[in-house]
């Protein structure tokens, strides 16, 4: 198949697509291309997930506007089908890879899923096909890892198949909206490949599509999340200063941002999710062993990683004011997902908080309306607790009746890591209220 033939197949929507990995990125991508009329095959190694998707249901819980309805529509219309068999990919013209790319405790990329996908795909890859890596990867991964694996069975990039990198830009709770409205970088093995990628993505992306090479695409995604991490770390450090100075960081932020070209981020109880805690390390890994001195990125990571432990310290101070010790107390943690109104628990700051509380001997009760194992009545879970620690700004918590919450507690201590509650209202309800960035 020639490039012109592939371009024609995309234009007429006769190109057969495959999406490897049907998680937070791959599933909505597959559904959106299917909605536009493409024949889409989803490749997923988890059989339970395959069954759920083929029944027209979304395995992604939480508030994900439009996804369940879209999935039901495209599965029912026979435009999207899921499989766990790589042999089914032999006739696919375009393959998108959307698998996890985590880092380990030494901040080293662990590409087990990516390597497995590339290895398996190399055995069934159709000559002339276009392969696009949407997973976030460290600079140099396309050339050093992906390319050799896809070429291991004799096909050559640029001659026998096309290879591109188009990093995803999505956030749980906004998956479909982000895919439509966020710009994308189409990094190809040649300008022609980038052009074909842009023609493909124009079917689902309403924002800018920019052509680039592999290295630029890899860098753009890792840099943008490292930037956010650094900015959040700055906000968190300012919050700690405000606590000591007796000021409210949210008021400071409001007034700072009135000055032109200032946009201070929002501080909080920690940074979670699959991307921000990981992508700065992917960026750093891209220059590992070089002469580039990395200072800011590791420092930002350290600041953000310690915020859940700062929440533990705030709780200890509040309980001391009530003449109580943490190892004698029962603590309710509100929220286990990393993001409001989501079931995504990857790199959850709550997990770090709970680990700290466990280590100090506290009894911990967890509530989260979106995480199956922690669902339940929040007031029943609060009964007899000595303190509440709010870690996630779920809508359910914003609307909570503070008077009723206080009445169920043994001790009215409320530690707020996300400004879920208004300080004045909480104190009027009788709480000893503490929050990140709020001076006493």
Alpha helices in 36-145 (DSSP H): 47-54, 67-76, 112-122, 141
Largest CA distance in the chain: 76
This prediction's pTM: 0.91
8 Å CB contact between 20 and 117: yes
Q: How confident is the model at residue 269 (pLDDT cuts 50, 70, 90)?
A: very high
Q: Would you state the pLDDT for residue 63? A: 83
d(CA 240, CA 233): 11
Q: Would you state the pLDDT for residue 299? A: 97
186 is catalytic: no
Of 79, 221, 278, 381, the active-site residue reads: 221
What is the pLDDT averaged over residues 211-226? 97
d(CA 13, CA 35): 11
Residue 289 pLDDT > 90: no
Residue 62 pLDDT > 80: no
Q: Would you state the pLDDT for residue 187? A: 98
Q: How confident is the model at residue 362 (pLDDT cuts 50, 70, 90)?
A: very high
Side-by-side strand order, sheet with 330-334: 363-367, 330-334, 387-390, 413-416, 432-435
All domains in the chain, ordered by first residue: 3-214 (3.40.50.720), 249-440 (3.40.50.720)
275 is catalytic: yes
For residue 255, what are its two tokens?
């007034």
Q: How confident is the model at residue 61 (pLDDT cuts 50, 70, 90)?
A: confident
Of 118, 166, 275, 329, the active-site residue reads: 275
Token match 């899921």: residue? 82
What is the pLDDT averaged over residues 319-335? 96
Name the region of 62 (left: φ>0; alpha: ψ -120 to 50; beta: rest).
Answer: left
What is the pLDDT averaged over residues 78-105? 96
Q: What angle do CA 100, 105, 108 make, to 5 degrees?
A: 60
Q: How confident is the model at residue 266 (pLDDT cuts 50, 70, 90)?
A: very high
d(CA 30, CA 175): 12
Q: Would you state the pLDDT for residue 3? A: 83
Q: How confident is the model at residue 212 (pLDDT cuts 50, 70, 90)?
A: very high
pLDDT tens string 379-388: 999 999 999 9
331 Cα distance to chain centroid:
27
Three-state DSSP state, 209: strand
The number of residues making up the chain comes to: 440
The distance in angstroms from the start CA to the end CA of the chain is: 69
Q: Would you state the pLDDT for residue 15? A: 97
Q: How confident is the model at residue 306 (pLDDT cuts 50, 70, 90)?
A: very high
8 Å CB contact between 57 and 67: no
Q: Would you state the pLDDT for residue 124? A: 96
d(CA 12, CA 37): 9
Residue 314 pLDDT > 90: yes
Three-state DSSP state, 204: coil
pLDDT tens string 98-120: 999 999 999 999 999 999 999 99
Q: How confident is the model at residue 2 (pLDDT cuts 50, 70, 90)?
A: confident
Q: How confident is the model at residue 171 (pLDDT cuts 50, 70, 90)?
A: confident
- Percentage of residues of the chain with pLDDT beyond 70: 100
Three-state DSSP state, 128: coil
Residue 184 pLDDT > 80: yes
d(CA 26, CA 306): 32
pLDDT tens string 28-45: 999 999 999 999 999 999
């Amino acid at each position: 198949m020639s490039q012109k033939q592939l371009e024609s197949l995309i234009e007429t929507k006769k190109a057969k697509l495959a999406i490897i990995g049907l998680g937070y990125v791959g599933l909505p991508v597959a559904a959106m291309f299917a909605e536009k009329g493409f024949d889409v095959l989803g490749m997923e190694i988890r059989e339970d997930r395959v069954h759920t998707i083929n029944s027209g249901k979304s395995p992604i819980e939480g508030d994900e506007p439009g996804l369940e309805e879209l999935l039901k529509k495209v599965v029912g219309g026979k435009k999207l089908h899921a499989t766990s068999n790589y042999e089914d990919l032999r006739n696919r013209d375009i393959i998108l890879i959307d698998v996890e790319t985590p880092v380990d405790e030494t901040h080293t990329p662990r590409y087990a899923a990516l390597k497995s996908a590339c290895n398996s795909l190399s055995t069934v890859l159709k000559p002339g096909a276009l392969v696009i890596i949407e997973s976030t990867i460290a600079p140099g991964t396309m050339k050093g890892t992906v390319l050799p694996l896809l070429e291991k069975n004799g096909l050559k990039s640029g001659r026998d198949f096309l290879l591109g990198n188009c990093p995803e830009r999505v956030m749980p709770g906004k998956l479909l909206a982000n895919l439509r409205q966020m710009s994308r970088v189409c990094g190809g093995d040649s300008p022609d490949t980038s052009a074909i990628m842009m023609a493909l993505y124009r079917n689902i992306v309403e924002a800018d599509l920019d052509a680039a090479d592999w290295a630029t695409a890899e860098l753009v995604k890792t840099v943008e999340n490292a930037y956010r991490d650094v900015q959040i770390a700055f906000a968190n450090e300012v919050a700690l200063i405000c606590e000591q100075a007796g000021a409210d960081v949210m008021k400071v932020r409001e007034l700072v941002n009135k000055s032109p070209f200032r946009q201070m981020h929002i501080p909080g109880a920690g940074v979670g999710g699959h991307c921000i805690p990981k992508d700065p390390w992917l960026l750093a890994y891209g220059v590992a062993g070089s002469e580039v001195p990395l200072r800011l990125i590791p420092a930002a990571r350290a600041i953000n990683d310690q915020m859940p432990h700062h929440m533990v310290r705030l709780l200890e101070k509040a309980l001391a004011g009530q003449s109580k010790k943490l190892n004698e107390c029962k603590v309710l943690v509100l929220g286990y997902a990393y993001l409001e109104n989501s079931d995504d628990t990857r790199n959850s700051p709550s997990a770090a908080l709970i680990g700290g509380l466990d280590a100090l001997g506290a009894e911990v009760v967890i509530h989260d309306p979106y995480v199956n194992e922690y669902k339940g009545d929040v007031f029943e879970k609060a009964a007899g607790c000595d303190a509440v620690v709010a870690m996630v700004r779920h809508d359910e918590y914003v609307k909570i009746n503070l008077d009723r919450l206080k009445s169920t507690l043994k001790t009215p201590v409320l530690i707020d890591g996300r400004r879920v509650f208004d300080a004045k209202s909480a104190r009027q309800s009788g709480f000893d209220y503490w929050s990140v960035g709020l001076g006493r």
